[in-house]
Amino acid sequence: MGDSMIKGNDEIIKNNKETYEIFDNKKRLINIVIIAVLAALAISLSYVFSALPNIEVMSFLIFISGFLYGTLVGTGVGFMAPLIYYGWNPYGPADIPTYLTCVICMAFFGIVGGLLKPNLKNKGNNNNSYNKSSNNGYNNSNGKILYSKWNILKFGIIGIALTLQFDFITNLIIAYMWYGGNILAPYLNPWTFIFLIIHIVSNTIIFALLTIPVYNSIRRVKKLNTF
């Protein structure tokens, strides 16, 4: 009797382990597919927008990848998409240090998206009832982000901050590569300021206006209750 119970328990443990391994492998495969699809979307749209000076959607798509699916997917898309696009873009490849810096800085968008979303969602989660003025900015009944001036402003600020870090770091590398380490030299060119302003303003608008509808739409279509 005792031996049969032990044998039965061993079979249950073995079956549970096999089920977990199958689930884990499926999860890895799904992550790989998601990374490939989102990276392909980011690359293709980058080519579409390449004719517009310093207006791009790659950084937003990388951010929303992390915001939707976590830091692993966000980082994967953040490395894959710019690695391909910056290496084969219509204006020619950059020097290797600038190229690698752009890739790393773009991956940072995905990392921040993955880290930021749980923090935004968990803030104020003690509210059990639906409340449009909830300080976490979420509809607690379904996890959707609420449309509000505060949320739009919040994502706009995130867009500004991430774009500034990208432009500052890349210009810093350009200064060392092309201006003998004079970090102010790139900014003495008036076109640098013009392109910087275009990049900041466009990304602010994109992050502010697209994050909420894209996030909510993907949740609704894919019926994702948790990420």
Per-residue pLDDT of the chain (227 residues; tens, 9 = 90+): 555 555 545 555 555 555 556 656 777 788 788 889 999 999 999 999 999 989 999 999 999 999 988 999 999 999 999 999 999 988 888 889 999 999 999 999 999 999 987 666 555 444 443 344 444 565 545 557 777 888 899 999 999 999 999 999 999 998 888 888 788 887 788 888 899 999 999 999 999 999 999 988 887 765 544 44
- Can you tell me whether residue 92 is helix, strand or coil? coil
Q: Is residue 29 part of a domain?
A: yes
pLDDT for the residue 143: 59
Residue 52 φ then ψ, to 5°: -90, 125
Q: Look up the CATH number of the domain holding residue 125.
A: 1.10.1760
Name, in order, each residue with C-beta under 8 angstroms of 211's C-beta and a sequence gap of 6 or more.
Answer: 60, 63, 64, 67, 145, 155
Amino acid at 30: I
Q: Is residue 112 part of a domain?
A: yes
Contact call for residues 34 and 61 (beta carbons, < 8 A): no
Q: Is residue 26 part of a domain?
A: yes
3-state secondary structure 172-184: HHHHHHHCCCCCC
Question: Which structural domain range is residue 31 located in?
Answer: 2-222
H-assigned helices in 95-189 = 96-122, 149-178
Q: Is residue 133 part of a domain?
A: yes
pLDDT for the residue 121: 59
Q: Is residue 68 part of a domain?
A: yes
Q: Is residue 227 part of a domain?
A: no
- What tens digit of pLDDT does each residue of 202-221 get? 999 999 999 999 988 887 76
Burial 144-160 (b: 16+ CB within 10 A, else e): bbbeeeebeebbbebbb
| Number of folded domains that form the chain | 1
CB atoms within 10 A of CB 180: 8
